[in-house]
Amino acid sequence: MSKYKTDRHGWSELLPARSMNNSLNGDHRTLWLVVGAGLTGLFAAQRLAALNPNENVVLVEAREVGQGASGRNSGFAVQHSHFPGAFDEGLINEYQRVNRINQTGLSLLRAAVATHAIQCSWHDDGFHHAAADNMALRECEHFHDYLQRLDITHTALDRDALAERLGSSVYSRGFHVHDGVLLHPAALVRGLAANLSSNITLFESSPVLKITYGKQITAKFPSGSIVADKVILATNYETPALGFLNRQIMGSTLSGSFTRELTTQEIDSLGCKRQWGVLSLHSGGATVRLTEEGRICLRNTAEYRGARLLSDQQLQARQTIHRKSFDRRFPQLRHVPFEYSWSGVEGISRNGTNFFGQLRNNVFMAGGYNGSGVSRGVAFGSALAEYAAGGQSELITDCLISKPATWLPPRPLLDMGAAYTVRSRFKGVGQDR
């Protein structure tokens, strides 16, 4: 059980307490088992339930819903991904494929949030991509080129225009990309879990400890078991513990901080928009938001910690890095304390690919979205359910085309290589961090 640790420092803790679903007890039998109730698992289960209205789908979650990456991310649901580097004519199909997946995921998410009236601070006004220092400024040129060539609706912004919107003069150039949604990640997954179809049974705090694959699949839990005909693993970077992708997926630990709720006067100092988000044009740059409830949320660390969350002490130390970045961006708010810091683990591959497909007979998996898994997790989860049920669609084809992952070296080389890979995203970050 201790393998599936969590802490009390996620976005969930900004929400009222909720009562958890039961954990699994006793022995069960099901046609479909979905492991992992993040966005991938929730959408896979929901789609399976719709396709098999007379069958019960069992969804199991090791922790509490909202404590995985899906409830701990920065809440940017992207429609148009950023592909670093100069625009490459030869990659147009790839850019379009990924953006089609994002777009489908975002539409499915929009529909689910509207249908169930999920209160997750849904803010449908796109977000900003901005640059402060030299390397990101060079990337600005590439990004602008990409936006123009793919006809992506945007507004180009100079330093003054960005300062007027964000209350920070740290950024020299940037863009407001009009498509894309900001949301409260934990409120979203909680809301989705509370509105599952009646033929889905969700067990929380129910880690699969061991799984045996054969004609039937048997999953063992601390207090019971499930025998299933077909399994979807929506377990992100924890999939290796269930026997797959051992040398293909790993976890990178990110951290950020929230201020207390700002006063009206403090919010007024942040420009004309009441909610906004900024993604950096440098891969190691800070992700910053002014949230609906009036907090600034800033994330700017990433490290290899063997896919573990940070301890309280480590979080305290990372807060210094968050603080430096915050004070540089918002000198007018230097007096505002951080109320709260959090960490989360994202699933990454060495070559930035995603995972989708059949791992062996009747075992399917999707995940590992490299820090861009909100819209994509929704799309991959839905598509995987359809694929596992024998369906065909443009979305399935798009997901299947994801290129194979580059192999990760075995330990202890993995630890050194992973630490290096994660660290290298900060090269040349300068003022963007």
What is the torsional sign of CA 21, 27, 29, 35? Answer: positive
**Least spacing, CB of residue 11 vs ligand FAD, in Å:** 9
Q: Residue 31 and residue 229: Cα distance in Å, rounded?
A: 5
Answer yes or no whether residue 251 interacts with ligand FAD by CB under 6 A.
no
346 binds ligand FAD (CB under 6 A): yes
Q: Please name which of 193, 201, 196, 233 lies closest in space to residue 55, comparing C-alpha atoms.
A: 201
Cβ closer to ligand FAD: 39 or 262? Answer: 39
117 vs 420: CA distance, rounded Å: 43
Which residue sits closest to ligand FAD, CB atoms considered? 373
Give the position of tokens 């540089």: 328
Q: Interacting stretch for ligand FAD, rule CB under 6 A, among 35-43, 105-113, 164-172, 267-275?
A: 35-43
Among 70, 257, 354, 362, binds ligand FAD (CB under 6 A): 70
Nearest CA among 146, 133, 130 for reference residue 86 = 146
Q: Are 427 and 319 in contact (CB under 8 A)?
A: no
Q: What are phi and psi of 352, to 5 degrees?
A: 70, 20
Instruction: Tell me, residue by residue from 203 to 222, as one string, x for binding to ligand FAD by CB under 6 A and - for no binding.
Output: ----xx--------------
The reply to whether 73 sits near ligand FAD by the rule CB under 6 A is: yes
140 vs 142: CA distance, rounded Å: 5
- From the list 18-26, 86-94, 261-269, 369-377, the region that binds ligand FAD by CB under 6 A is 369-377
Stretch that binds ligand FAD, among 70-78, 134-142, 155-163, 326-334 (CB under 6 A): 70-78
From 62-70, 118-126, 390-398, 418-426, span contacting ligand FAD (CB under 6 A): 62-70
3 state DSSP class of 127:
strand
Site string for ligand FAD, 285-324 (x = CB under 6 A): --------------x-------------------------
Residue 72 is a binding residue for ligand FAD (CB under 6 A): yes
Q: Please state the closest distance from residue 301 (CB atom) to ligand FAD, in A.
A: 9
Q: How far is CA 263 from CA 19, 184, 240, 268, 293, in A?
A: 31, 20, 46, 9, 10
Q: Which has the closest alpha carbon to 281: 83, 117, 98, 147?
A: 83
**Segment interacting with ligand FAD (CB under 6 A) among 19-27, 73-81, 116-124, 130-138:** 73-81
Q: By C-alpha distance, which of 314, 280, 311, 294 is closest to 433?
A: 280
Amino acid at 247: R
User: Of 99, 372, 402, 431, which one interacts with ligand FAD (CB under 6 A)?
Assistant: 372
DSSP 27-44: EEEEEEEEE--SHHHHHH
Please give the single-letter amino acid code of residue 261: E
The minimum distance between CB 58 and ligand FAD, in angstroms, equals 11
- Residue 20 is which amino acid? M
Q: How far is the CB of 367 from ligand FAD (least distance, A)?
A: 4
CA dist 257 and 124 (Å) reads 23
One of 10, 33, 48, 61 touching ligand FAD (CB under 6 A): 61
CA 29 and chain centroid, separation? 31
33 scored as a contact of ligand FAD (CB under 6 A): no
Q: Which of 235, 301, 349, 353 binds ligand FAD (CB under 6 A)?
A: 235
| Site residues (vs ligand FAD, CB under 6 A) | 4, 35-41, 60-63, 68-70, 72-76, 78, 207-208, 234-236, 238, 241-242, 254, 299, 344-346, 367, 369, 371-374, 377
